[in-house]
């Protein structure tokens, strides 16, 4: 039992889920992830069922039906979302649930994937392709050069760019405001992408939104009337464009550009403080998973410093 108060029987699963996702302390990526879990739970059990009547057995049944064949990381992500929802719903002032709905859902062991970084020669080939639209070319090069999170870059507005100093002001995790930096490749593309616009989203959707789906004013371009490019659309296009380069034929993710950049810089000898300053990591342990230096890089570094090689 995780709370001693009597739950409000009138609070439904759908109402609780909606209130949970409306919290101001959740960022866009977290809301998107949690929404997937709770939407499936509502669909299987019903929006109108009182949350107090939902059992751990029912939640475990939904998980088994929906994600039993999914990767361990996916399973654990949904499990974590359900645990967060349960803890919040049982919290002070609510007491809508007295049972840990994730209590029967065991965490699955994850195998660390040490091949997530894309070979630097493949990255160079991807970024230099001439058959890619300007928007995608700019986004992908900016993501790699800056090692920034994709959602942070997609949230950039034109007025937040400092083109002369090759940097942009973003709001990162926890509401922290910081600068991301890029190099000459991105610097050459940005003026073409902006094309005279002075404000609004940097990366725009392909067309104007339908009247029924008009986004918030902050996500609309005042010059073109088009909305901000979504993470989902940008990710889809990148996966489609990179399937031929991916040994698994699934296509690469936008996050792999960040992962690859940090790995390549670590192989080039960047210190941990410099990598943290570039990527926005505040904990060196969080950074460690991005800097698995390849066997080839270790061999090359040793060969370069081999005393016998220098004498020859």
| In the chain, domain spans | 1-111, 120-301
Q: How confident is the model at residue 1 (pLDDT cuts 50, 70, 90)?
A: very low
Lowest model confidence (mean pLDDT) among 116-120, 167-171, 222-226? 116-120
What percentage of the chain exceeds 90 in pLDDT? 60
Look at residue 112 and tell me whether its pLDDT is greater than 60.
no
Tell me, what's the pLDDT at 98? 85
Residues 169 and 179: beta-carbon distance below 8 Å: yes
CB 197 within 8 A of CB 236: no
Does domain 120-301 match CATH 1.10.443.10? Answer: yes
pTM of the model: 0.61
Model pLDDT, residue 223: 92
**Cα–Cα dist 255/189, whole Å:** 21
Q: Which of the four pLDDT bands, split at 50, 70 and 90, describes residue 212?
A: low
Q: What is the pLDDT of residue 7?
A: 45
CATH number (2.130.10.10, 1.10.150.130, 3.10.20.30, 3.90.1640.10) of 1-111 reads 1.10.150.130
């Amino acid at each position: 039992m995780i709370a001693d108060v009597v739950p409000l029987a009138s609070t439904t699963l759908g109402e609780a889920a909606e209130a949970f996702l409306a919290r101001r302390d959740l960022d866009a990526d977290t809301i998107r992830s949690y929404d997937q879990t709770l939407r499936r739970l509502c669909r299987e059990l019903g929006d109108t069922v009182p949350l107090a009547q939902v059992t751990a057995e029912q939640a475990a049944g939904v998980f088994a039906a929906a994600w039993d064949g999914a990767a361990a990381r996916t399973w654990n992500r949904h499990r974590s979302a359900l645990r967060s929802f349960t803890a919040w719903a049982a919290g002070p002032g609510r007491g809508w649930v007295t049972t840990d709905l994730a209590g029967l859902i065991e965490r699955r062991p994850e195998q660390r994937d040490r091949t997530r970084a894309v070979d630097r020669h493949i990255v160079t080939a991807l970024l230099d392709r001439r058959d890619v639209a300007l928007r995608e070319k700019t986004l992908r090069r900016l993501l790699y050069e800056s090692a920034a999170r994709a959602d942070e870059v997609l949230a950039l507005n034109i007025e937040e760019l400092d083109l002369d100093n090759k940097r942009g002001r973003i709001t990162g995790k926890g509401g922290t405001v910081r600068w991301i930096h890029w190099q000459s490749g991105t610097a050459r593309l940005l003026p073409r992408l902006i094309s005279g616009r002075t404000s609004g989203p940097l990366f725009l959707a392909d067309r104007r939104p339908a009247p029924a789906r008009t986004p918030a004013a902050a996500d609309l371009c005042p010059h073109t009337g088009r909305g901000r490019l979504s993470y989902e659309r940008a990710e889809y296009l990148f996966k489609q464009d990179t399937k031929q380069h991916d040994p698994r034929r699934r296509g690469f993710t936008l996050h792999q550009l960040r992962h690859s950049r940090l790995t390549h810089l670590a192989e080039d000898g960047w210190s941990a403080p410099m990598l943290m300053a570039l990527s926005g990591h505040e904990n060196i342990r969080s950074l460690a998973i991005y800097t698995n230096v390849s066997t080839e890089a270790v061999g090359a570094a040793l060969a370069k410093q081999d005393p016998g090689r220098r004498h020859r």
